[in-house]
Structure 1
């Protein structure tokens, strides 16, 4: 839903810590409510906008696209994209590879750095200034003051913490919150990852980018005979624009160091590239990271709100950024219909925030490989017309997706399958009691 902004500005300062996609989308959606929007970004401008640095493919959901259209950024973003039909899981079972496909029509993948560049242009057009190399030192939650090393004390009517998984805003909130203990706000390490890009040429393109495979992410689970492990996964995504490349993401546990991961990477891709030098140069230009799970019992303290990864970060399967952008759309809708900022924040945290925390809990179980039975039972019930499809199977790509309604439906579906599977033995027992088997005369 497109926000209906008032014609007159009601508030003075909006401060946003973190200017990634969620931070910039927030600024563009809320700019007409404030006299001044201040974006604080800890990276340098050069690092923030570099084309060949930290990036990965992103597929936007219809709900996220509607928001990007509303802020005037979608046309620029979609100018550079690659067709994407879904995900193909390759799993080695008893020494043989099996494929499982989950398809979705009408979706595209985009490089993250292209998305950032286009949103930055949009922010510039609206004369919203980003303060690069920012160093936030403290937040006074009682008096609504953000202290930054160069700007000094910056007063705010609303502060959004959009500073990612390792959010400094969240750590300050944890220390200051009067209701929840500091330990209730924490990070749980899930797995490590390494990402890099390979030029899609020759045999490599034929193997990982040829035909319909050029339009999908391929997930290889327990696929290397030299390292049999369900925890080791290679995800390849073929990208057409601006040039044909294969995005490679390797997920591994902490027991493997980067040297071992590189050796396993060579055993997988070495046979498909022109030379070891090509593979080594691509690898050296890559970057390592961690999948962490954010746990936050609330996203709000006074006039401060955590958004995006800072609030509900989890191991994404394409849903994290979409949930972040969609949640900002929901916040703006609540904001527009609330008489005050404090009431909007309270309403958001109790409704959308509660749904996001529930979704994050589901994603945590997904990361721990503890949802197989749940997926199977809900999908079985969906075939019988009892439930909707499970969230892990493109649920957020429904045209009418809205986080609150979606999670309410998911909760109801969980209850339905529990009642169904607990109800069947109870029904059989009752039948046995009331209709005992007749004895032969």
Structure 2
């Protein structure tokens, strides 16, 4: 009886070992098949990618031959744009480095172009290209204007008429250029007479060639150049830009007075400009790509205290935040510095800081975001020495819009921080 029992146990054990062996064999076969299939997929995908790239390259050559363009300049980028070597570092150097920044933009927006509603690979809908190649692309989740390498480009804003610059205005934009051994390139801003929008500007009596970040093999320069005279000065390369970093350019003009800022640095200030220019033109010539974003023209730029006294409030378009966040951009410090200084000099002043959004998004989200942004501004001002009791905050969301939510300019007008005197 005991012997029979042991034989049965031994038999079951052999059967179990056989099943395990068979399962392992089946598993091995499945793994082998999976490896084989993966290898085949890689070959197929690689071949497909190579075919697609070859077709893209052939299509590019055909397009360039038809349009008479050099093969070195692509007609359209089919992939998301990324900076050279992936070295985009952003425009911000830290908000604390803007402690002495004094640029305050105008409080009436004339033109706003952030490319947010435009499609990749398309020509910019808000800019008229006079010459050259440029297209809208996405870079790190942001829409930018990509100027093709080895090309010259000029554009003017699309406006209802060509006479849109007032006597007092501000211009802001961000630019990324590259500084290499074989690099040449420049970026120039022209304020000129509108009698001929396609003219180079050199013959205009009001012409001002304003900004040169790079000029071939010369040192970076910045300033003004007028017919027969110039006021350009060499500046350190780390201030001017290069190496794939975003630089924030801010320009203030008031009749014969002009100031130019690169990031937190005020580089030039003059008072001998010829007044009367009424339109804007920007040009670029570079052996490497140039990227531009966040172009904004605004009327005004008055002392904020005058506006507070005359209007009882000040619309602070200079206070900017990261998209859909309550994180202050460093260039916001120009306006914040102005109000902190004002409140320290005028102890009788007290303000409500009102946060406002455009009409995109849900009301709940906009209310929350606008409140958070107003709170952040107050916190920064209190940190800088303003008594907390003199500041209150309120997030209005999109409930107090001052323009329809139907264009880039109108959305920019609605996205604002207001200082309302109490």
> How does the TM-score come out when normalised to structure 2?
0.22
Which structure's CA Rg is the greater one? 2
Higher helix proportion, which one? Answer: 1
